[in-house]
Amino acid sequence: MAKKTVEDIDLRGKRVLCRVDFNVPIKDGRIGDDTRIRAALDTINYILQQEGSSLVLMSHLGRPKGKVVPDQSLKPVAARLSQLLDRDVTMAPDCVGSEVEKQAKELRAGQVLLLENLRFHKEEEANDPDFAAKLAALGEVYVNDAFGSAHRAHASTEGVAHHLPGVAGYLMEKEIRFLGGVLENPEKPFVAIIGGAKVSTKIAVLESLLAKVSSFIIGGGMAYTFLKAMGHRVGASLVEEDFIDTAKDLLQKAKQGGVEVLLPVDHLVASEFSEQAKAEYISQIDIPDGKIGMDVGRQTLARYREVIAAAKTLVWNGPLGVFEFPEFAQGTLETAKAVSQCAGTTVVGGGDSVAAVTQFGLDGTISHVSTGGGASLEYLEGKDLPGILALQNK
């Protein structure tokens, strides 16, 4: 169901309460990466361009667990946002309370107030109704542009929408459009690349996509559970014994549904799981005893490239090897290059797969790089996300 956006509601003369995702890395008061702040600028600027409107921004930062943690204050974010907007951003002393309410109500047209870290209050994650009402009192219209938190029913992502008319910002709208398009009307061939360490964390997305995809490319640690399920030797590689039957069942369903499942046919292995470990090449499917599968081999990558190149729709979530160890990052990085050259609609989500396309400077060549790791995964699993459900339908 399409959701109303900032363009579908009259914001003129309104005080807009906007949930953003400013959960950025901060060390010693300095922001390490301001990508998430810059990602919100389109929505922020659109709101401020509406005649007579003012803006109250709210976000979480880190996991302070309901306590005030000075190192997790949003003050450095207010300073950086002021620079990016080329206008003053007032930093509130808290996110609720009489002083904050006074600051919000005194905002004039074009002025911006940033609330302090929502998670300094345990009521935020508890979706406490009274806390949500206090937040809602700071605005007249609610805009949610924090897709990365949309899978959480928190006061600022779900509770507020019970008090104010709620619409999507541009980032949220883009996520819904691309991820929704992948699920609802994918052009074929539709290829899903699913990686990561464990089958248990990805089985729901595999099962959800099974009826929609033409091909699955499976890599990462989870591939060895599938290979063992097929009767192959996997040495000392990561295997979830409890999920071998699940893997067998999925392979059987894929075969019945005419879905091609591509698994590694050769490997880079090591004698120990360590960043210092040296890569050894194994040119066959079976892995010798004592060796740990760490990345896909060149024959596997060649086959993956063929399938990726032919895709009309492609979604990628999760690395294909131990991406955090440079010796075993090649499979993930080569996959990133192949995805960037795919002429179809390409959607990348999940921390390491996003890191790979960003590291290679390829993010501009992907149709959509999702900002929400857990949220994008749950969306692809076919789950209803509370932060999206709470917004008004078109």
**pLDDT greater than 80 at residue 4:** yes
Q: Which overall architecture, per CATH, does domain 177-380 show?
A: 3-Layer(aba) Sandwich (3.40)
Q: What is the mean pLDDT of residues 364-376?
A: 86
pLDDT in tens, 77-89: 999 999 999 999 9
Rounded to whole angstroms, the Cα distance separating 125 from 154 reads 5
What is the CATH number that goes with domain 6-170? 3.40.50.1260
> Which residues form the catalytic set?
36, 198, 351, 374
- CB-based contact 237:271 (threshold 8 Å): no
Strand 280-282's sheet: what is its strand order? 280-282, 267-270, 292-296
- Domain boundaries, given as residue ranges, for the chain: 6-170, 177-380
Question: What pLDDT does 184 receive?
Answer: 87
Q: What is the pLDDT of residue 360?
A: 84
Question: Do the Cβ atoms of 44 and 55 come closer than 8 Å?
Answer: yes
- Asked whether residue 69 carries a pLDDT value surpassing 80, the answer given is yes
Q: pLDDT-derived band of residue 298, with 50, 70 and 90 as boundaries?
A: very high
Q: What pLDDT does 187 receive?
A: 95
Give me the pLDDT at residue 382, please: 85
Q: Give the pTM.
A: 0.88
Q: Summarize pLDDT for 308-321 with one digit per residue, the tens.
A: 999 999 999 999 99
Identity of residue 232: H
> Between these two residues, 361 and 249, which has the higher pLDDT value?
249
User: What is the residue type of 103?
Assistant: Q
Same fold across 6-170 and 177-380: yes
Residue 112 has pLDDT above 80, yes or no: yes
* Model pLDDT, residue 347: 94
